[in-house]
Structure 1
Amino acid sequence: MFRDTPADLASAAADLIATHVHSAISARGECLIAVAGGTTPVSTYRELTRRDIDWAKVVFVQTDERVTPQLADRSDGLIESALGLTDPGHRATWHPIPVSGDGRETAAAYDEQLSLLRAEGVPDIAVLGLGTDGHTASIFDHTLREDPYQRVVATTYHGEQRVSLGLNYLQAVPTRILLATGGSKRAALAQILTPATGAAVTSAAVVLGQDGYILADAAAHPGQA
């Protein structure tokens, strides 16, 4: 699904997410949403707050996080701000990744948290970003097949510790929505849509599979000059 501008994309993505939130609430009485950080989803999250949703039945978790004490380098604050999760009166439940000094400890703590939320299941919706190298969440091509069955994994990217929902766990989420904006994402998106012969499959392509949603603006569209 392509839109001309990031604003158009944010509105369309918010509509899509809201539709699936309503479906999940209707089916099971609640909706569990895994949300990515980064700048691309921010406008979508802000749009989503304007949709008519029973927020008391919505629970947010994170797809991934940097393991660092530097709050400015983490995603949780940006997500909280965009979704208004710390605003007085907001009724959604929010479970950010409890960052500690060690990636494995953080991953184990979040695994336990997720098991309490859905002992046997997965989130209803995952909102995903796209890295310029084709990764999504913090699942990178060089670690694609490491611990694929773990619910939460600890990994390292460019020397930085990260924690991420695991590959198979994300693949099992019934509604997976990938957002991409800007020309810097064009090559990575092209590799998902029309993989080059002999090229390695990117982690974003693996997570999306054949039934994930892709929403991108015109600048990210591989067909644009």
Structure 2
Amino acid sequence: MPLTCMVYETTADLASAAAELIAAGINSSIEETGGCLVAVAGGSTPAPIYRELSRADIDWSTVVFVQTDERVATQATDRCAGAIETALGLTDPGRRACWYPIRVHGDAQRTAAAYDEQLARLRAEGVPDIAVLGLGTDGHTASIFDPTLGEGPDQRVVATTYRGEPRVSLGLNYLRAVPTRILLATGAGKSAALAQILTPAPDVALTSAALVVGEDGYVLADTATYPGRARA
């Protein structure tokens, strides 16, 4: 399947379409294997999508959520996990989906090692079924700021830094191996990064987002990010 790019007039339209796409992927995985492992990104862009998704008709008892990346911050309020929990309704009474956030264990290296062990317990072989990813203005996704980060075959989780802030992230090749990869892009500030994914310049190195999405992922954007595209 070739790279699929869908562009929407409003972020509300994008949120609805993305939630529908993710829900369809989850239900398909449940039908095929009895469950679904979903890696989710933090940030402001996916929050309305997660709220829409939380209302979908899904057997949540068979779904497991993990994080794509996290800030290694002392205060929980400075991390992404809480916002994800709230948007997906993971702490609501009756919500039965399993949720394994990245928990900080000292420094980034120890945090990455602990989360690697957690992922191995959830799925010793293989990768998540679905990854929901964001796009940075510089073309990064998850917390892969260096496109070579996590190229090793066994690097499920890696330690990194961004502007002096320690972070952990699922590795590049680990994310590239996820069967359904959905990249979300909103706002004019990400237009150049999106263009490098959809029409990469031959003399410019591919960004981590371009490498992860590859030739068969999904890109969902709004018209602020991709103004020249016909409405989906």
Whether TM exceeds 0.5 here: the answer is yes
Structure 2 length-normalised TM: 0.93
Alignment-derived partner of residue 187 in structure 1: 192
Which residue of structure 2 aligns with residue 163 of structure 1? Answer: 168
Alignment counterpart, residue 64 of structure 2, candidates 59, 76, 85: 59
**Match in the other structure for 1:5:** 10
Q: Structure 2 matches for 1:109-148, cutoff 5 A?
A: 109-140=114-145, 143-148=146-151
* In 1, Cα distance between equivalents of 2:200 and 2:151: 22
The 8 Å contact of residues 68 and 101 in structure 1, kept in 2 or not, is answered as no
- Amino acid paired to 2:171: G
Secondary structure, aligned partner of 2:224: helix
Q: 3-state DSSP class of the match of 2:167?
A: strand
Matching residue's letter, 2:136: G
How far the C-alpha of 1:131 sits from its partner, in A, is 0.3
Amino acid at match of 1:116: R
Gaps of at least 5 residues in structure 1 are none
Letter in 1 for 2:33: R
Equivalent in the alignment of 2:222: 217
Letter in 2 for 1:199: V
CA distance in 1 between partners of 2:55 and 2:218 (Å): 21
Please state how far the C-alpha of 1:6 moved relative to its aligned partner.
0.3
Q: 2-side partners of 1:64 and 1:154: how far apart?
A: 10
CA offsets, 1:119-166, max 9 Å, x none? 0011000000000000000111xx222441201000111111000001
Instruction: For 2:52 and 2:149, locate their aligned partners in 1 and report how far apart those are by CA, in whole Å.
Output: 36
Aligned to 1:87: 92
Whether 2:105 is the aligned partner of 1:100: answer yes
Alpha-carbon separation, structure 2, partners of 1:145 and 1:132: 18
Report the secondary structure of 1:128's partner residue.
strand
Count of residues in Structure 1 that have an aligned counterpart in Structure 2: 222
Match of 2:35 in 1: 30
Give the structure-1-normalised TM-score.
0.96
Structure 2 residue runs of 5 or longer lacking an equivalent are: 1-5
Which has the higher relative contact order, 1 or 2, with Cα contacts under 8 A spaced 6 or more apart?
A: 2
Moved over 3 A (4+): none
Distance in structure 2 (CA, Å) of the matches to 1:130 and 1:46:
19
Aligned counterparts of 1:7 and 1:42: Cα–Cα separation in 2? 11
Aligned to 1:72: 77
Is 145-154 or 199-208 further displaced after alignment? 145-154
Task: For residue 25 of structure 1, give the secondary structure of its aligned residue in structure 2.
Answer: helix
